[in-house]
Homo-oligomer: A and B are copies of this chain.
């Protein structure tokens, strides 16, 4: 894997723009991947991420049991695989094999990184109090990786009904916000 360690203090900048992400898990040797758009930063550092993972999804049970996952951020080059992952269930499909994605060992969690994604955030579940009501998990990012060659990654952003916005140009403004 040709990735570098990414500082946890900068993780917010990867998730704030709202990219579609792939959540990878493993439970008793069985890996899975879920496509997700319902996530938000909750804290800068240590980075906390809140996300909705429906209790109808195969990933829900893995996440509750193992309390670990990886948030992988794809670019539009992976768009077909992203949609394939969203259109199928880990109950019946081994998505790594079926869609030609490469699992790579993470450093701090058992769940695999997806090599083809330009950034990978190793996460642990730290709060499940909102799961019963909203399927809302609070994750702490404990380790992060990035492909340093992708300066302006063309992330995908879900608009609903099969439409996605692809990241456009980057502009710089005199913001005092972090």
Asked if A52 lies at the interface with its beta carbon under 8 angstroms from chain B, I say yes
The reply to whether B167 and A171 form a contact with Cβ atoms under 8 Å apart is: no
Binary CB contact string for chain A from 70 to 83 against chain B (1 if under 8 A, 0 otherwise)? 00000010011001
Beta-carbon nearest neighbor of A80 in chain B: B173
Q: Which of A58-100 contact B (CB under 8 A)?
A: 76, 79-80, 83, 86-87
The reply to whether B160 and A13 form a contact with Cβ atoms under 8 Å apart is: yes
The reply to whether B168 and A163 form a contact with Cβ atoms under 8 Å apart is: no
- Contact for A160 among B38, B155, B178, CB less than 8 A: B178
The reply to whether A175 and B19 form a contact with Cβ atoms under 8 Å apart is: no
CB distance from A75 to the nearest CB of B (A): 12
Asked if A136 lies at the interface with its beta carbon under 8 angstroms from chain B, I say yes
Asked if A6 lies at the interface with its beta carbon under 8 angstroms from chain B, I say no
Complex: A61 Cα to B5 Cα, angstroms: 39
Complex: A50 Cα to B48 Cα, angstroms: 14
Asked if A142 lies at the interface with its beta carbon under 8 angstroms from chain B, I say no
Measured between beta carbons, the chain B residues less than 8 angstroms from A162 are 172-175, 177
CB distance from A140 to the nearest CB of B (A): 12
- Contact for A177 among B86, B127, B170, B175, CB less than 8 A: B86
Asked if A10 lies at the interface with its beta carbon under 8 angstroms from chain B, I say yes
Of A22-30, A39-47, A111-119, which binds chain B?
Answer: A39-47
- Contact for A159 among B13, B38, B157, B161, CB less than 8 A: B13
Measured between beta carbons, the chain B residues less than 8 angstroms from A10 are 160
Asked if A149 lies at the interface with its beta carbon under 8 angstroms from chain B, I say no
- Contact for A50 among B134, B167, B173, CB less than 8 A: B134
CB distance from A126 to the nearest CB of B (A): 11
The answer to whether A157 and B18 touch (CB under 8 A), given A79-B171, A79-B173, is yes
